[in-house]
Each structure stands twice: as C-alpha cells, then as structure tokens.
Structure 1
Amino acid sequence: MTETAIDGVKKGKSKEVCGYPISIFFIVVNEFCERFSYYGMRAVLVLYFRYFLQFDDDLATSIYHTFVALCYLTPILGAIIADSWLGKFKTIIYLSIVYAIGQVVMAVSAVNDITDSDRNGTPDSLTFHITMSMLGLLLIALGTGGIKPCVAAFGGDQFQDHQAKQRGTFFSVFYLCINGGSLLSTIITPLLRAQECGIHSQQKCYPLAFGVPAALMVVSLVVFIAGSGMYHKTKPQGNIMLAVCKCIGFAISNRFKHRSSVHPKRTHWMDWAEERYDKLLIAQIKMVLKVLFLYIPLPMFWTLFDQKGSRWTLQATTMDGNFGIAILQPDQMQTVNPIFILTLVPIMDKIVYPLIKKCGLNFTPLRRMTVGMFLAAMAFVAAAVVQIQIDKTLPSFPSASQSQLKLLNMGSNTLMVKLSNNYSIELQAAQATENYITFEEESIKVSLPNSTISRTVVLPKEKRQTLLIPSNVSASWEVTDDLMKKPEQGANGVRFVNGLAGTVNVSAGAHSFGSIGSSQASNYSFLSNGKATFTITNGVNTCEYSREFGFGSSYTLLIPSNFMWGPTCWEFILAVEDIKPNSFHMGWQIPQYFLITCGEVVFSVTGLEFSYSQAPSNMKAVLQAGWLFTVAVGNFIVLIVAEIAQIEEQWAEFFLFASLLVAVCIIFSIMAHFYTYTDPTAIEAQFRDKSDNESHQERLEMEKKHSIDHHDENDEQKQTKM
C-alpha cells in the first residue's frame, strides 16, 4: 500500500466506515489491550510486593507509588521524543516494545522457584526476583508513560477537517476503552492471582496474573503495527515544551543579568524575554504559567486517590469478601472505581450540573475541583472509620515484653491445671482454653493438682504458643509455635494435632499435612476460603472431615484420644480457633470508593476540561504534561508520609491524609477566588492583529523609504546628465 507525503504528513490509504477511518479501529483496540495490560498488572502489584517478595506494608506501598509516579513523569520524555525526533508513530512502536519486554520480565520475576529456605534466610533466589521485578517495572514505566501523550493525539491525527464530529466521538470511545480495559482487568487478574501454582511449593499464581497482561501488551503492539499502512503519520515539528523552557530560562537569566543596571521596569518577569522571543509566545507562556500556578496544590488530591491500589487494597485483605452471590478478592474491590466512573460521568453531565445551573448557582470549574478535593478527603475519613472497626476485630498479639500461651487437653478426661501464678484452669476432655493467656514472665510452672506431675514451660517474648497435654499425662508435653499475624491475603492457617497413640496422615486436596506422630502437631497449611474436605488415615482406616472457612483465620484441629474411625468423623474433631476470621465486611469499603470516585469525576474530568479551555492553542500539550506531573508529585508525597511519618495506626494515617487535603482544599479555594478566567483565542488574536498591524506599518515605512531613495536616485542621475 503506497503512501503520499503532503505538508509533512504521510497519509495512508485508510478507507472509511460510517464516516470513520478504518485506521482508528486499530488504535482503539490497541488502547483497550494496553490499558488492560497496565491496570491488570497494577491491580495485583501491591499484593505481589507484600506477599510474594515479603516486603512490609510501608515498603510495598512506597515502591508501588514510586512506580506510579514514574509512569506519570515519563510522558514528558515521550512527548519530547515524539515531537522532536521520532514522531508519534515510531515513538509508540519503540516504547511499546520496551513496555512489552517489561511486562514479560515481570511475569518471569514472579515464577515461584522460592523455597522455604529462601524465605527463612537464604536470600539469593529472592534477590533475583526483586531485581527482575524492579527492572520490569522500570521498563513498564518508561513504556506506558512514554506512549501516554502520543496515542490519543495520534488517533486524532487520523481524521480530516470534515470529520470533526467523528473525531469528538472517537475521544469518547477512547475514554470508554480506557475504563473498559481497567474494569475487565481488575476483575480478571485478581482471579488469576487467586489460583495456585509453583515449582517448589503451591502459592498464589502471580506468573499468570502478570503473564496475561504481558500477552495483552504483545497483542496491543501487533494490532497497532497491523494498521501501519493506513495511518496518517505527522512528522516531528519540534517540541513546544523545549521552546517554552528555553524562553522561561532566558527570561530568568536576563532578569538576573540586569538586576544591578538601570533598566525600565517590566510589567511581568516574562517580559525580560522580549529581546529574543516573540511577544505572542511570551503572552502564551504567561497564560500557561497562570494555570500552572493553580496546579501547585493539586498533587495532594492524587496522594489520596492513588492509594486505592495500595493502602485500600491492603485494608481489604483484613475484611470478609463473601458477598453471597460472589466472593471478591481484596484486589478486586478496585473494580468499584471504574464501575462508578462509567455510571457517574453521564449522571453528572446530564443531571447534576444542569440542576445546579437551574438553581442559579455559578458552579465554575475551579469550584467543582474544590468540591472534588473535599470529597476525596471525606473518602479517607470513611476509610479511617472502616479501619477503626477492623482494628476492633483483630487479635491482640504479645508485645516485646510479653508472651502468650494456650493450653490444649488432648485426653478424654477432665483436667485441673494450675499455673505458677496460682491461676487454675479446668479443661474438659478434648478442650482448649478459649483465649491465649498473656505472661510477662520468662517461664512458668504448669502442674496438675491431683497428681505430682508438673512441667516448666519457657515463654519466649513476642511469641504465641500452645501447650499440648497428652492423654497420658506422664508422657512428654509438647509446646508448639503458633501464628503471630493474620494469614496473608485472607487465607486460613490450619494445622492438625494428633491425640491418638499412633501416627496419622492428613491431606486436603493438594495440601498435605504429612505424617503426624502421637501428641504432635503438623505444620500450618494455608487454605482459601470456602469448604475444605480433609482425609485422615492411619494406613488401615480412613475418614473424611469437612469444614467451612472464612477469611484470615487460624485453626488448630485436634484428633482426640477418644477418636472413632468411620466414613466421616466430623463429630470427633475439635476445632480450636486461634485467630478469628475477618468479620468486618468488604462491602463497607463501597462508601469510600463512591466518595473518591465522585471526587475524581468532579476534580479530574473538570480539571482537564479547565486546562484545555485556558491553554493557548499550541500549548495544550504543555499543560497536559503539567497535569500529569501533579499526579507524579502526589505519589511521591505518599512515599514521604509512609517512610518518614512512620504512623503505627493505619486509621490515624488516613485521618492525617484527609486533614492535609482539607487544608490544601482551603488554600486552593482562596487561589481560585482570585483567578481570572481568560480566553486564550482572543488574546492570541489580539497579538496577531497587533503583529499584523506592526508588520503592515513596517511595510509602509519600507515602501516610503524605498520611494524616497528612488526619488533621490533620480535626482542624482539628472544632475549627472546636466
């Protein structure tokens, strides 16, 4: 297929369907796949840091927001590359290749070859995974950020002047593809992550959760290349951002260069650039700087907004995700945001804003943005209230000076147990103490008052233990180490204790508890929520035991000494609840998601619209870059709070963020009050008219001078002849 070059534009032969060039369908599919890839990977990212790479909450949050910040810094680089050297088409191709490689590297980094020894002190394999994942994220940030300012603009380039209506529809469809890709990916990738896979051990399947987005990115690249012959490709025309930076730099340097000399005062400091730059360009930069000044408070909104994928997702891991008709994974709660966006945008445009206008209220764009910031702050107040309720349901683990102990009677007789602090406990047959007992001592003496039997139990600090009292009390008593934190990602920690005289084997599907000796406890296995069926056998007899599990619990399942074999044995097994399941429902996060999405619709959509309306015709990309830069700065603020503030209580951190945004909201409202809206088109027209008049005047003067010179020349010739 041949191409023709007209005015620096390579115009491909793209047929039209219903008035639309076929080439835009390749771009729309490309954007859908790319957004699926990005948001799908990002949806599970903080859980990957937290539970696969074993980072703590603060480090996982910090790296997550560093990555998001880089994704919003690199658009500036992408715009410079596209406008100055490669053009939009080649920039999208080359950086998409980098993007796809980054996604593949992330998928490879998540392949589970980490053994228990790696997690318990041999760091080599874990170091490899961390290095690979950081490299993958760096490539993804460069790729997704680099193509961000190019794809939509490249799509707009495909339309001719007579297709203005179709161009407007294209941008609406383009925005729909962004949210559609986000919605589907945040539903699908958490489901993929919830599967179990691995080489040495079965764990959550992050390779699949990252692998599918990687495949979609490859598809995105292939689809985009497939439409190559149909595209209209604009050659690079020079980067206006570089021109703006040079002009500002010259104005500053020129002002300081003449600070000590006598010069006429300038109305605006940018007027110091008049010696070198056109007055129209300077006037346009003044308009841009006026808007950029308003951008200064805006990063705080993004500081709160982007924590949906970090702090709020980690919050969801401590909640009950059973919605009856469906069980949601913690990272799937992020789907609420795009669902609300697709619902609220038309409601605000078609109902809310017209009603406000009918009420006679002047709801200006800057006032809308102020309301959006306030709504985001209220969302974090709601998140803090939810966190307070969650904290009430969390277990109280021992402090640095404490230890905790639980007693378990595995026999068929009632026991009276006395502790060295004269604390007596009556344990029924096959019964455990309901709660852990907290001690400050380093050891205690446990005795049976009706006998001479006693044992000394060492109590390590900051540990939970269970003392197993066998049926034959004169035999040795075992002490087990219990879980010291909620099981990760809403899983359930389960172990078996064998009170029988012989060895038993226990399994549940792919989970094997191994051979459990008499009066011994197995290691923990971590099971997903729902019904689990356990098979118990001693090599001769076999029985099954079933139990429903919730989210984030821990159980010790006792096979008592009076155990009777049969097809089922549920009536004999004692379930000791060491850590209660999550009881605060995930649905309570919906109000905070609703508030933050309302804030996004009022703030983000309005902000982009305001920036576009206040930007000079040739500097809309500059303000777009400035807008994206506020997102990056907002994510860096999260890093500062997470790493420097070191607030122990999560609810207090949420309140801190809400308070900071309210304070910034007040500052922004004052700035907005003194802002004067401008019409860039009218201002530009004035300067062009003035420039045309000056040019016309210069031409007249030149013609007049030329006429005088010509007259003088004729006089000289006459005198010479004479």
Structure 2
Amino acid sequence: MTSKSIETEEVQKSNSYPKAVPYIIGNEAAERFSFYGMRSILPTFLIAQFFNPTFNPLLQQTAEAQSNQKVHMFVALAYIMPILGGIAADWFFGKYKVILYVSILYCFGHLMLAMFDTDLALFSIGMTVIAAGAGGIKSNVSANVGDQFDKTNEHFMSKVYGWFYFSINAGSFLSTYFIPEINKKYGSAWAFGIPGVLMALATLIFFLGRKKYIRVPPTGINRNNFIFISFYALINMGKRVKGDHWLDVAKASYDPQKVDDIKAVYRLIIVFAFIPIFWALWDQNLSEWVLQAQKIDLNIGLGFTLLPEQVQIFNPFFLVSFIPVFTYFVYPFFEKLGIKTTPLRRLGVGFFLTALSFVIIAMIQENIDAGGKPSVWWQILAYLVLAWGEILVSITGLEYAYTNSPKSMKSTMTAIFYSTVSIGNLAVSLINENIANKGFFAQLDGAKYFWFFAALMFASFLVYISIASRMKETRYVGVTE
C-alpha cells in the first residue's frame, strides 16, 4: 500500500451517526425518568412517612439526618454496583445481556416501592433492588455508546455523549416536575409506580434496538488483566529496577503491551481521585437542598408556587439548556482564542464552580438561620452554577473514562468513574449518620454544614490544579487488540 493511499484512508470520515444511537438515547431517557422520578420525592417521603410523621420540630434535625443518611447510602450502593456490572459485561456476558437482564430486575425494584410504601423494611429492600439494577447497567450503557464508534465516525463522539447526557436530563426534568405533583394528588403508591412503568418502557426500547448494536464480545478472564498484573507488580515491587515504573516489573511475566495499557488506567485513576468530593457536593442538590427548599419562599412569581421537591427541576432544565451552549459555543469560543478546552481543564473549572454553588447555598442557609425566608430564586441561582459545574465534570468524566482506557477495560473503567459517585455519597451518608447519632459532625448545624463542603471542594480544587498540569492523555478509540 502506498503512502498516498494510507493518507487517504486516514482522512476518510463517515457522515453518519451510528445506527444504534437513537435506541441508546431513548432507553437512557426513560430509565433516568424512572430513577430520578422516585428519587425526587425520596428525602421528603422518608421523613413524612417514617422518620417524623408528626412533624415534631424537636425531631426534625435528626429526621433530616436519618433521611439524608438513607438516601446517600442508596446512591452509594447504586454507584458501586457498576463495578460488578462492568466486570460481568467485560469478562463474561457482554454489555447487551447484562443491560437487558438487569433492567428486568430493576423493574421489580420499582414494583416493590409502589407496593410497600408503608413498610420501611420492605421499602428498603425495594430501594436495594433498584440500586442493584440502576448500578448494574450504568457503566455498560455509557460504555455501549462508545462501542458504536470507530476511527471513521470518532469525530461524532463528543456530540453523541453530549446528547446522551441531554437525554439523561430530559428524563430527569420531566420526572422531577410530574412525580411530586402525582405524589401530592394521588399518593406515594402512584408516585413510585409510574417510574416503574417508565423503566419497563426503557427495557423495551433497548430490546427493540438489539439488531443495531455493535457488540464487543466479552474478553473472558485472562491472566493479562488489570487485577492480576497490578497484584503481581505490588508483591514484586522489590524486584523493580531503579527508575522504572512500578508496573514494569510485571513485563517479565505478562504481556508488556497490557502492562503499558494499565499504566494509562492508573493515570486515569489519579484524575478520578478528585471526583468523589465533587459528587459529595452534587448529590446534595437532590437531598439536603430539597430539605432546605421547605424553609424558603417558593413563590417564583405570576402566582405560581413550587413544591419543595420541584425546585430541583432547575438542575436538569439548566443542563438541557446549556449542554448545547457549551458544546457548540463555549468550547469553540475558547478554542478560537487559542485556549484548548482539554478534559483536564474542564474538570478543574467544574470543581471550582461546584464549590461556588455551595457558597450560595451556605449564604441562603445563614439567612434561614437568622429567621429569614429567602426567595427560591437564590437557590435557583445555585442550581445554575451547579449545572455548569456538572457539564464540565460529569460529561467530561464519562468521555475521558472511555477514551483514555484500553479496549478490554472500557466498561470496567467507566464503572470506576461511577464508583466515585458511590465514594462521595458514602462519605455524606456517614457524616449524616454521625449527625443523627449526635457525634462529632453534629456541630455542623445550619449554614456550617454547607460551608464545610464548600471549603472541602475549594481545597480539593487547589490540589487538583497542581497535579493536572503534569498529567498526559493516552487515547484508545477504534484501537484493535
């Protein structure tokens, strides 16, 4: 083959999106409606139904901490399960089978919430089943997006990931508005049952696209995998030649190329180490911020007053509104100025904005603590800033997890990205459990609670920018192994 033909082959690009994209996006929108629909009323429902049904003011602080503890533990479980789902897909069954079968389990979890909304023990089991279902498919759905691309259509990947995230927030937006209304008018059984219907629809949409997907077969368990190589390198670190990477010692017994691939994975993990703090803050907009909304003026003008659970609708609204703005205007604008909007830079700015959103929330809480009743528009401002941070961190993180991990590790590495959500929520859950038990963190009452998390995020941001400047990227897209 001549050099000219090679050059022609390299620049030949497809003008069409992958055929499976509409099914993946439709499935994600319906699934996210189901997840965020049930979650939109969860914090207030747990307090009203189980932890403080008489609304005794003396019990409210403890009840809020108990609700926050349970909600964040639920989210922590939902986002640690992607590791098992990713391994099951990468090693044994493939993404398609894992997504389909676990989605069916997911539907049963919703059914349990609708049937047992007056029994805390059985309701909690339903939450666990939903967490297992949502988590089991999560890493595979987003990785399945990346699997549909090769070198001919890679240039569409960022846009498709943007639309994928758009579908998440479209489903979230609709459910966050309608499910609290349904809960108010028809009760919790309907409010938890309708998301189950949407999950069944999500499963059906995914099944209908079965002939359109590019399916990456499972690799099976082989000795040249991430776990075996990492373990071997750790126990043989004493044999490492001075100046070599700590993983290089494994090259004598394992495939050297696989060892180099895993180096890229650890570079990815270094970046991911900062993301749990982002999620520790972000997920509070669906719990602590909702409880704060019960104490502010919810009149948005024109005679329209929101329910406390509905204020969170502004998060998906702003995301749906600003994802195209960032994709088609903000990033290109800075590129034209000669400022490359690399994933690492996007993450850093996202961390800063997330901390800033908590500064706004802390100031709102100071007003409440002083006896005031601030306007909901201040909380809406915080949601706007948080949405900008989320666009820069979450969308970028999903794409970064896929493009910077080796082919055989893509679902697993996406699962590791999602496990950062679990770690962040676990930390918040434990802090709230400590508050409920009158422990050390009980001193974080009122605005002090939010100032604590704002300071934590700012400190993490400063450490991140000192490390990110030395990080390098290794992209694995359309690479055959």
Q: What SS does structure 2 have at the residue aligned with 1:646?
A: helix
Alignment identity in percent? Answer: 35
Of 624, 638, 646 in structure 1, the residue corresponding to residue 442 of structure 2 is: 646
Structure 1 distance, partners of 2:132, 2:113, is: 14
Shift of 1:367: 3.1
Q: Structure 1 pair 163/239, CA: closer, same or farther in 2 (3 Å)? A: farther
- For the 8 Å contact 1:41–1:209, the answer to whether it is kept is yes
Structure 1 distance, partners of 2:19, 2:266, is: 39
Higher relative contact order (CA 8 A, sep 6+): 2
Count of aligned pairs between the two proteins: 449
TM-score (norm 2): 0.84
> 1:39-188 residue pairs with structure 2 within 5 A?
39-54=36-51, 56-110=63-117, 129-154=119-144, 171-188=161-178
1:148-179: per-residue Cα shift (whole Å, max 9, x none)? 12234445656798776777765454333212
Structure 2 distance, partners of 1:361, 1:33, is: 37
Farther off after superposition, 338-347 or 146-155: 146-155
Letter in 2 for 1:287: A
Instruction: Show the counterpart of 1:218.
Output: 200
Farther off after superposition, 212-221 or 223-232: 223-232
Q: Structure 1 pair 681/79, CA: closer, same or farther in 2 (3 Å)? A: closer
Structure 1 distance, partners of 2:67, 2:220, is: 40
Instruction: Show the counterpart of 1:664.
Output: 460
Q: Structure 1 pair 317/172, CA: closer, same or farther in 2 (3 Å)? A: same
Structure 2 distance, partners of 1:232, 1:613, is: 17
Letter in 2 for 1:132: L
Of 260, 270, 276 in structure 2, the residue corresponding to residue 283 of structure 1 is: 260
Q: What SS does structure 2 have at the residue aligned with 1:195?
A: helix
Instruction: Show the counterpart of 1:577.
Output: none
- For the 8 Å contact 1:103–1:140, the answer to whether it is kept is yes
Instruction: Show the counterpart of 2:181.
Output: 191
Shift of 1:106: 0.8
1:453-482: per-residue Cα shift (whole Å, max 9, x none)? xxxxxxxxxxxxxxxxxxxxxxxxxxxxxx
Q: What SS does structure 2 have at the residue aligned with 1:305?
A: helix
- For the 8 Å contact 2:241–2:249, the answer to whether it is kept is no
Q: Structure 1 pair 322/130, CA: closer, same or farther in 2 (3 Å)? A: same
Q: Unmatched 5+ residue regions in structure 1?
A: 1-17, 112-128, 197-204, 395-582, 689-722
Shift of 1:24: 5.2
Q: What SS does structure 2 have at the residue aligned with 1:393?
A: coil
Letter in 1 for 2:231: G
1:670-717: per-residue Cα shift (whole Å, max 9, x none)? 112333x244569x99xx9xxxxxxxxxxxxxxxxxxxxxxxxxxxxx
Instruction: Show the counterpart of 1:351.
Output: 329
Structure 1 distance, partners of 2:163, 2:281, is: 28
Instruction: Show the counterpart of 1:607.
Output: 397
Shift of 1:378: 1.3
Instruction: Show the counterpart of 2:246.
Output: 269
Instruction: Show the counterpart of 1:368.
Output: 346
1:217-244: per-residue Cα shift (whole Å, max 9, x none)? 1222234334546656554222689810
Of 27, 32, 40 in structure 2, the residue corresponding to residue 30 of structure 1 is: 27
Q: What SS does structure 2 have at the residue aligned with 1:221?
A: helix
Of 340, 352, 377 in structure 1, the residue corresponding to residue 355 of structure 2 is: 377
Structure 1 distance, partners of 2:243, 2:252, is: 12
Structure 2 distance, partners of 1:620, 1:606, is: 15
1:567-586: per-residue Cα shift (whole Å, max 9, x none)? xxxxxxxxxxxxxxxx4322
Structure 2 distance, partners of 1:598, 1:163, is: 28
Instruction: Show the counterpart of 1:249.
Output: 231
Structure 2 distance, partners of 1:615, 1:209, is: 40
Instruction: Show the counterpart of 2:8.
Output: none
Q: What SS does structure 1 have at the residue aligned with 2:252?
A: coil
- For the 8 Å contact 2:298–2:375, the answer to whether it is kept is yes
Instruction: Show the counterpart of 2:418.
Output: 628
Higher helix share: 2
Letter in 1 for 2:71: Y
Letter in 2 for 1:187: Y
TM-score (norm 1): 0.57
Instruction: Show the counterpart of 2:377.
Output: 587
1:514-555: per-residue Cα shift (whole Å, max 9, x none)? xxxxxxxxxxxxxxxxxxxxxxxxxxxxxxxxxxxxxxxxxx
Q: Structure 1 pair 616/167, CA: closer, same or farther in 2 (3 Å)? A: closer
Shift of 1:79: 1.2
Q: Structure 1 pair 339/381, CA: closer, same or farther in 2 (3 Å)? A: same
Larger radius of gyration: 1
Shift of 1:266: 5.9
> 1:425-436 residue pairs with structure 2 within 5 A?
none
